[in-house]
Amino acid sequence: MQPRTTSQLATPALLIDLDALNGNLRTMSLRHPGTKLRPHTKAHKCTNLANLQSQYGHKTFTCATPREIIGMAAAGVGQDYLLANEVVDPNRLSALAKVSQSARVTLAVDSETTVMAAARAGLRDVLIDVNVGLPRCGIAPALAGQLADFARTQKLNVHGVMGYEGHLMMIDGHEKRKQRVAESMQLLARAAQDVGGEIISAGGTGTFDLHDETCINELQAGSYALMDTHYAKLNLPFDQSCFVLGTVISKSTDWLVIDVGLKSLGMDHGNPSVQGFDVMFCSDEHTTLAPKKDSVNINVSVGDKLRVIPAHIDPTMSMHELAFLVRGDEVIDSWPIDLRGW
């Protein structure tokens, strides 16, 4: 039987505030309507949530893994998928080729090897992945046109370019961040001229409002839907809609412990946060909290529930099998996190 209130949930439990989620999706859809946004499923790994994004007018999606594309297609969510990641595994590429028989599947490529892998698998649609400053995937901008020409000799359809300015998402100061993004996108614009095609794809939640004057015509963003403490530092117009619910399992004079730890939280962006408490540290199955000195009337007992705000939402989602949709303390529904894993 589905729990009716959050107090009935076994913890740790992943919560999604439905009203906050809808508010975030509405805000982004007004700024980037329709195909101007290609929502990134890596942030939530949930076809139900992707389906809700499609109800706000977004029919094209960005994915990070072949499994995400295969799962999205099986669920009937979207008809146009971009795998914004290089793949050379022939079995995974063959599985994507099967999906491409009924939906558009576009691969990011940044080398002759990745081009040939796509061609051998029977995939035909690619974007040239361009390095715009993040030392990760992507070909040097000056070589993008040459790679596009090679891809066309392999009978691939080169639809344009993509880049990711992930190294700029957390630059302090809106104007400084905007300037650095513009400089990064100049690299992508020059590559786009050499490559050709109709798509110039880039961006993310941290730069969602910085591309009005850049070259891109579609924004890849994912974390905006759920948010985390990392992006909250930027004062974006999106509310925290995802939490990990924990139970107080121990209490001492100066601290208390909840049953949410490293195995239920993405920790690469630092500690999570809990309203009214300082996080002392996290261990495998525990987070130790101390009441903030300026907090008043905090009276928490063993057995009480607290909501934890993750520091990085993407890996947090991948640690849970199920998300509970809530409105206040009422449990409305549950969604499987069905795109987890590779």
- Kindly state the percentage of the chain with pLDDT values over 90: 96
Identify the CATH number of the domain in which residue 32 sits.
3.20.20.10
Query: Which parts of the chain are beta strand (E)?
Result: 13-17, 37-39, 60-63, 80-83, 104-109, 125-129, 157-162, 199-202, 218-221, 242-251, 256-258, 277-282, 287-291, 305-308, 322-327, 330-336
8 Å CB contact between 259 and 249 = yes
Computed from CA positions of residues 207, 213, 219, 220, in that sequence, does the dihedral angle turn out positive or negative?
negative
* pLDDT for position 299: 85
Looking at residue 297, its pLDDT comes to 59
Final residue in a domain of this structure, among 177, 197, 226: 226
In three-state secondary structure terms, 333 is strand
Pair 178, 259 in one domain: no
Cα distances (angstroms) measured from residue 169 to each of 135, 176, 204, 294: 14, 11, 8, 32
Q: Which of 177, 203, 226 is the last residue of a domain?
A: 226
Domain boundary among 226, 257, 276: 226
pTM of the predicted model as reported, rounded to 2 decimal places: 0.96
Mean pLDDT of 8-24: 98
Q: Region 90-104: what's the mean pLDDT? A: 97
* 296 has pLDDT over 70: no
Write out pLDDT tens, residues 110-153: 999 999 999 999 999 999 999 999 999 999 999 999 999 999 99
Confidence of residue 342 (pLDDT cuts 50, 70, 90): confident
Same domain, 101 and 156: yes
Cα–Cα dist 321/101, whole Å: 30
Q: What pLDDT is stored for residue 294 in this prediction?
A: 76
Q: H helices of the chain, where? A: 18-31, 47-55, 66-75, 90-99, 112-121, 144-153, 174-195, 229-232, 313-318
Q: Is 265 in the same domain as 212?
A: no
Q: Which of 275, 272, 243 is nearest to 6 (CA)?
A: 243
pLDDT in tens, 29-49: 999 999 999 999 999 999 999
Specify the pairing of strand 157-162 against strand 125-129: parallel
The total number of structural domains in the chain stands at 2
| Per-residue pLDDT band at 298 (split at 50, 70, 90) | confident
**pLDDT for 105 beyond 80:** yes
Listed range (100-109, 130-139, 295-304) with the worst mean pLDDT: 295-304
State residue 2's pLDDT score: 80
**Which domain does 85 fall in, by range?**
18-226
Mean pLDDT to the nearest integer, 71-89: 97
pLDDT mean across residues, the chain: 96
CB within 8 Å of 78: residues ≥ 6 apart: 50, 54, 59, 60, 61, 72, 103
Number of other residues whose CB lies within 10 A of the CB of residue 77:
21
Is 170 found in the same domain as 248?
Answer: no
- Rounded Cα distance between 166 and 176, Å, is 15
Check if the beta carbon of residue 337 is closer than 8 Å to that of residue 46.
yes
Nearest to 176 by CA among 168, 187, 164, 188: 168
Within a domain: residue 232?
Answer: no
Confidence grade of residue 295 (pLDDT, cut at 50, 70, 90): low
CA distance 38 to 85: 15
Task: CATH number of the domain at 242, please.
Answer: 2.40.37.20
258 and 218, same domain (yes or no): no
CB atoms within 10 A of CB 47: 23
